[in-house]
Amino acid sequence: MDPIYLLLEVAAAIFFVLAAWLALRRGRLPFLELISAATFGLLLEEGDQLIFETYHYADAWVLSVDRAPLVIGLTWALIIAGAMRITDALGVRRRYAPFVDSVLAISLDLAFDAIAIRMGLWTWRGVGSADGWFGVPAGNFYAWLFVTWAFSFLSRWVRDVA
């Protein structure tokens, strides 16, 4: 077992539990948004690997749900819910918030993905280290923009009707 994977999984779990506790202190809806973001991320990761087969995760992850490491769903939640929390705190108007959330999320992903593939955490199929954004295909970033926007838009709509 590679200790870096275990360290990443434990650290992400600690951050997620802390985020869940803080969300629960703000109310039931923020907590449910965080949990649904984790579930959403995990299902999208699994679905993408099953349908498109554009990448695969290293076998060294300790906790996985089929093809997707649990830590990936947790970090999806931390990134998306974190971006939403920032735009809420900044007072970004409701109609612009999903766009700002997308930009915040992709800003993090631009850094994370290029490092993660060099660490061997996952591998893109048919993409060299000099291709795309430091070895990450552009489609990944389009997906982050769309997925974050969609999750933010739907979550904010639920907030309004709840």
Q: pLDDT tens digits, residue range 78-111? A: 999 999 999 999 999 999 999 999 999 999 999 8
Range of the domain at 69: 3-161
pLDDT of amino acid 131? 86
pLDDT band at residue 39 using 50, 70 and 90 as cut-offs? very high
Please answer whether residues 97 and 84 qualify as being in contact, where contact means their C-beta atoms are separated by less than 8 angstroms.
Answer: yes
pLDDT of amino acid 13? 97
pLDDT reading at 162 higher than 90: no
- Does pTM surpass 0.85? yes
Furthest CA-CA distance within the chain: 47
61 or 65, higher pLDDT: 61
DSSP state of 60: T
**Domain tally for the chain?**
1
